[in-house]
Amino acid sequence: MPRFFLNLFRGFICLLTFVGAVHAETVHFNATDGLQITADLQKPDKKAEAAIVLFHMAGASRGEYKEIAKRLNRMGYITLAVDQRSGRQSNGIINETAKRAERKLGYQAAIPDLEAASAWARKNIDVDRIAVIGSSYSAALVLVLAGQDRQFADAVMSFSPGEYFSDRKLVRKNAKDIKVPVFITSARNETRQWKNFPKGISSPVVAFIPKGRGRHGASALVSKDASEYWSALDSFLSKYFQPS
């Protein structure tokens, strides 16, 4: 390869590296019951005015968002990917919070972790607004908590929510009190699980049903149908939760 083109190619690679660079660190904070929570905080190089807190699905860890967080960072958002006490591992990343809990816990046991993560983000990340993404059981919990506490999030993105708890109306009872923009989606065959949730919400709701089969939870964003999910999510974020 001629030297001119070789140098041009190297410069292009350096530019991509710079544009895609993020500052990443692992942080720890306590839930109200004292359990220490582990999370990965990632910041894009440019100044960001909005952050998105990421909660994983059942049996998983913060590693569920390994690639998803990078894309959100490139879009200009700070991300905080959280290990909840209900989970195990994802993408080779062990759930450190669940490991500390030392026993298998139900989905609702993770509520203090979600609350603590939101509160920590508001206090420690220098941004104006906080959004949340939930996956599977945590997709249901973010709807519940957003309905209970206006300070929990300024926007909610819920991937494959459902009435997964002993109280089979828990999500519907609380979601009706949400006052912030909401994005709801799932695999195509899961739509029936959440089709009634938007009916009681007075704030803007985007209910996205993929044309393809899709996939359960936030993993839809790394599935073969990822492009249509990202297109819908980007449209929602652009309208209701821009990074700056």
Question: What CATH number does the domain containing 57 carry?
Answer: 3.40.50.1820
Q: Does some domain include residue 9?
A: no
Q: Is the pLDDT at 20 greater than 70, yes or no?
A: no
Q: Does some domain include residue 11?
A: no
Verdict on whether the full-model pTM lies above 0.85: yes
pLDDT of 92 reads: 96
Percent helix, strand, coil in the chain, to 5, is 45, 20, 35
Q: Does some domain include residue 213?
A: yes
CB burial string 165-199: b at 16+ within 10 A, e below? beeeebbbebbebbebbbbbbbbeebbebbeebee
Mean of the pLDDT values across residues 213-236? Answer: 98
Q: Which domain holds residue 39?
A: 23-240
Q: Is the pLDDT at 3 greater than 90, yes or no?
A: no
Q: Does some domain include residue 46?
A: yes
Distance CA 219, CA 59 (A): 13
Q: Does some domain include residue 197?
A: yes
Q: Does some domain include residue 4?
A: no
Q: Does some domain include residue 61?
A: yes
**What's the domain count of the chain?**
1
Q: Does some domain include residue 6?
A: no
Strand, helix or coil at 161? coil
